[in-house]
Amino acid sequence: MTFPPLLPILLNLAAAVLLLGFLYRQQKHHATFTVRVFTALGLGVLLGAALQGIYGAASPVVKATGEYLDIVGTGYVKLLQMIVMPLIMVSIVSAILKLRNASSLGKISALTIGTLMITTLIAAAIGILMAKLFGLTAVGLTSSAAEVARGAYLQGKLADTQALSLPNMILAFLPANPFLDMTGARKTSTIAVVIFSVFIGIAAHGIADKKPELFVSFDHFVKVAHAIVMRIVTLVLRLTPYGVFALMAQVVATSSYADILNLIGFVVASYCAMLLMFGVHLGIVAGTGLNPLRFARKIVPVLTFAFTSRSSAGAIPMNVQTQTQRLGTPEGIANFAASFGATIGQNGCAGIYPAMLAVMIAPTVGIDPFTAAFLLPLLAIVMIGSVGVAGVGGGATFAALIVLSSMNLPVALAGLLISIEPLIDMGRTALNVSGSITAGTVTSRVMGETDMAVFDGDAELESDAQPA
C-alpha cells in the first residue's frame, strides 16, 4: 500500500487554513453574512481549481487533502443534521400551542403541500421542454466502467422501488416508532417527526381547559426547549462560510472536466431548466403581492449553502431562519414548509431530473417521448412519485427509479450520468430549497400572516447579528 507524499498535503492544508483564517477575519470585522458566504464560495472554487490544476482530480494528494477538508465541510453538514429533528419538534409544537383553532393547521398543511406538488408538476414540464429544445437522448451514449457499475446498482434497486405504491408511501409517513424517526433512520423520518409533533401540540391543546395548570407547565417547558434549540441553531449557522468553503473546494478539486464536457448538453439543459423554474418561483411570489427581487436577494445565502452541501434536509435550520428572520413568515409555517419541502415535491430532484431522464431514455426502447400518451402519465407519475423523496444526496436517484420503472423504461441507463451527477445535484438541491421557501412564503401570505416589516427590512440572520 502506497501513501501520498506528506509535504504537498501539509502545504495544501496550510493554504486552506490561511483561507479559513481570512474568513474568520471577515467575521471579526462584522462583514455581512451574505458577503462572507460568497467570499467562502469564491475561495473554495479557487482552492479546488488550484488543487486539480497542480495534482489532477484523481491524485492521491487531492484525495488525502479532501479527507481533511471533509472535517470542516461534512462536519458542518453533520452539525446541521444534528439539530434538524429537535428544531422541527420544538418549533412545530410551539407553533401549534399558539394557534387559536385547529382549522389553521389544516389550511397550513393543505397550502404548503399543494404548492409543493403543483410546483413539482411545473418543474417536470419545464424539464421535458428543455430536453426537447436541447435534443437530449441516451441513444448512442457509451458507458465507462463506473457508469456500468452504477447502472448495475440501479438495476439491483429496481425490485425495492417496484414494491412501492402510493398507499405504502403514505403509510411510511406515519411514525410507528417516533423515537426511531428522531434518529433520521428512514427516508420519511422528517415528515414522521412533523406528524408526531402535531399530535403532541394538539394533545396539549386538548388539556388547556381541563388541566390548565399542566398546560401552563408544558407550555413553559416548550418555550425553554425552543429557546435552547434556537440558540444551538444560531451557533451552528455561524459556521456556514467555513462549511461552504470546504465543500466547494472538494467539489471543484475532484470534478472531471472531461466528463462534464462529454455530457455538457445535459448539464446546460439541466441548469437552464433550473433557472427557468427559479423564475417560476419568483413569479409565484410576485403573484402574492411580494417583491420578487427582494425575495431572491434574501434567500441567496441559504441557496448557496444548499448548492454546496447538496442536502435539502441539512439546509432546514438555515431555511427556517431565513423564512422567519428575513421573509417575515411565522415560525410554524416556516417549519412546515422546510420540513415537508425536504421530502415532498422537490422541484429539482423529483421534478426536473426524472422527467428529463425519462424523455432521454425513452428513444432507446423505440418510444416517442413527445406524445400525449407518454407525457400525461409521465407528469402524473412524477408528481405522485415526488412524495417521500429523501432530503439528502441520492434522493434524485430514488425519484428517477420510481419514474423510470413506472414507465417501464430501462433504469440502468440512468447510470450514464454518474460522472456529472454531483455537478447537477448542486443546482437541483438549491432549487429544492427555493421551492420549499416559496411554499412557506405563499402559505404565509395567503393566510395573511406575513410580517411585511420584516420582509421589507434588511435584517441579517440572527446567527450573524448576535454576538457569541
Contact 30, 231 (CB under 8 A): no
The whole-angstrom separation of Cα 37 and Cα 43 is 10
Least confident interval from 253-257, 268-272, 388-392, 393-397:
388-392
The whole-angstrom separation of Cα 102 and Cα 112 is 16
> Is 223 within the bounds of a domain?
yes
Structural domain harbouring 137: 6-465
Summarised one tens digit per residue, pLDDT across range 17-31 is: 999 999 999 988 888
Number of domains in the chain: 1
Question: Does position 465 have pLDDT exceeding 50, yes or no?
Answer: no
> Is 68 within the bounds of a domain?
yes
Summarised one tens digit per residue, pLDDT across range 420-446 is: 677 788 899 999 999 999 999 999 999
> Is 22 within the bounds of a domain?
yes
For residue 234, the domain's CATH number is 1.10.3860.10
> Is 1 within the bounds of a domain?
no
Question: Does position 463 have pLDDT exceeding 60, yes or no?
Answer: no
> Is 208 within the bounds of a domain?
yes
> Is 81 within the bounds of a domain?
yes
Q: What is the pLDDT of residue 415?
A: 63
Summarised one tens digit per residue, pLDDT across range 81-134 is: 888 788 888 878 887 787 655 567 778 888 998 999 999 999 999 999 999 998
Question: Does position 459 have pLDDT exceeding 70, yes or no?
Answer: no
Provide mean pLDDT across the span 308-322: 85
Higher pLDDT, 233 or 418: 233
CB burial of 251-287 (b: ≥16 within 10 Å; e: otherwise) equals bbbbbeeebeebbeebbebbbebbebbbebbbebbee
Indicate the residue type of 225.
Answer: A
